[in-house]
């Protein structure tokens, strides 16, 4: 039986975090043999925020090595760099002619990033606004059925579905309308010191974030300092409004242990916050030590990493061509008489 296609992307916009792992990469690994998986390192998305030119390319290789260290099997999944497959940008222009200013203006990530004066005050660029259309193109090019994402990307995914539906209703079934998969727990890991804010790789306050390649002593220190609350006696229960710090710690533990929140609440009944933190420290350090060991071996193998990327991009380009060609056809663009090469 042919497998359905799953697609997802990750930005090389900084060092990857525990949030990226629990919310996205963990799912990518889990589904890699059940779906035909296509994973993209979305460097063109990353430049919607200022990036250091000497770091950006290197970071794409870092991300690839990290994805492999987390357990992705490069002989089974397609992994490539977004800028190596120009069809993404081509489709993005076409779809932008089928997307509305009003719907893009409602995207909360645009509002957050364009009003986050610390990070991006001088760079509220049009790419930041158009980002969801490029994301729709990433997904729709491959006739994707499933997109595993963290909770913060849900609104963008809903927009991709709307664009696909709109296009299909005009021209017939050109795109598969994708479903998304957001994990029940751990889909939005919050900052350690400000648990009402998402854990993000570009956070100015590094104490908010656990990085996957971070020194283990520093990880332990950050987790020990993470915010809890002053309830007396301490209560370990999931309540995002009244106990955001504890809820976040439970989400982290649930994401890493794959034990549901309800069962965790039961097993930590009557226990102290330090016991919860110690359990998380045990799991996080175990996971990170293993991952980092693999990473530092793999990262040295640049020829191998480039080979994976070139194999991935070649496959992606030929699949993307099929969809793009159909789109050119139905829109009515004149093809060159030497075939569909643009």
Cis peptide before 196 (omega within 30 of 0): no
Helix (H, G, I), strand (E, B) or coil at 13: coil
User: Binders of ligand AQP: how many residues, by CB under 6 A?
Assistant: 22
- Among the listed residues 112, 152, 194, 321, the single contact to ligand AQP using CB under 6 A: 152
Instruction: Convert 169-188 into a string of H (helix), E (strand) and C (coil).
Output: HHHCCCCCCCEEECCCCCCC
Is 201 part of the annotated catalytic residue set?
yes
Q: Is 219 in the site for ligand AQP (CB under 6 A)?
A: no
Query: Containing H/E element for 322?
Result: helix 302-331
Residue 51: CB atoms within 10 Å: 17
Is 113 part of the annotated catalytic residue set?
yes
| Min CB(49)–ligand AQP separation in Å | 6
Whole-angstrom distance between the N-terminal and C-terminal Cα of the chain? Answer: 34
Pairing relation of β-strands 36-41 and 78-81? parallel
Q: Which stretch binds ligand AQP (CB under 6 A): 168-176, 187-195, 307-315, 323-331?
A: 187-195
- Catalytic position from the list 154, 201, 271, 315: 201
Q: Which stretch binds ligand AQP (CB under 6 A): 29-37, 133-141, 144-152, 240-248?
A: 144-152
- Among the listed residues 120, 137, 153, 160, the single contact to ligand AQP using CB under 6 A: 153
Q: Which stretch binds ligand AQP (CB under 6 A): 80-88, 195-203, 233-241, 266-274?
A: 195-203
Q: Which residues contact 48 (CB under 8 A, 6 or more apart)?
A: 113, 125, 127, 128, 131
**Residue listed under structure tokens 């976040």:** 248
Judged by CB, which is closer to ligand AQP: 18, or 327?
18
Which residues form the interface with ligand AQP (CB under 6 A)?
A: 10-11, 13-14, 17, 19-20, 22-24, 149-150, 152-153, 187-189, 198-202
Residues recognised as catalytic = 113, 198, 201
């Amino acid at each position: 039986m042919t497998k359905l296609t799953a697609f997802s992307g990750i930005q090389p916009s900084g060092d990857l975090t525990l949030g990226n792992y629990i919310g996205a990469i963990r799912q990518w690994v889990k589904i890699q043999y059940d779906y035909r998986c296509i994973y993209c390192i979305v460097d063109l998305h990353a430049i919607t925020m200022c990036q250091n030119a000497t770091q950006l390319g290197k970071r794409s290789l870092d991300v690839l090595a990290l994805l492999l260290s987390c357990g992705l099997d490069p002989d089974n999944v397609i992994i490539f760099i977004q800028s190596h497959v120009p069809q993404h940008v081509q489709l993005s222009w076409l779809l932008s002619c089928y997307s509305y200013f009003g719907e893009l203006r409602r995207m909360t990530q645009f509002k957050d990033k364009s009003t986050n004066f610390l990070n991006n005050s001088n760079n509220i660029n049009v790419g930041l606004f158009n980002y969801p259309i490029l994301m729709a193109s990433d997904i729709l090019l491959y006739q994707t059925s499933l997109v595993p994402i963290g909770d913060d990307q849900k609104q963008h995914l809903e927009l991709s579905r709307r664009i696909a539906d709109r296009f299909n209703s005009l021209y017939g079934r050109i795109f598969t309308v994708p479903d998304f998969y957001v994990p029940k727990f751990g889909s939005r890991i919050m900052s350690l010191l400000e648990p009402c804010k998402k854990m993000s790789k570009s956070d100015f306050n590094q104490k908010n974030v656990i990085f996957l390649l971070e020194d283990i002593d520093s990880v332990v220190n950050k987790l020990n300092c993470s915010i809890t609350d002053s309830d007396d006696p301490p209560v370990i229960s999931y309540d995002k409004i009244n106990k955001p710090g504890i809820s976040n710690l439970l989400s982290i533990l649930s994401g890493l242990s794959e034990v549901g929140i309800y069962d965790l609440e039961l097993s930590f009944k009557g226990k102290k916050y330090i016991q919860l933190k110690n359990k998380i420290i045990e799991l996080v350090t175990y996971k990170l030590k293993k991952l980092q060991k693999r990473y530092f071996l793999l990262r040295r193998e640049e020829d191998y990493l480039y080979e994976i990327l070139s194999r991935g991009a070649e496959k992606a380009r030929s699949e993307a061509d099929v969809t793009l060609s159909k789109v050119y056809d139905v829109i009515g663009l004149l093809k060159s008489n030497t075939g569909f090469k643009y």
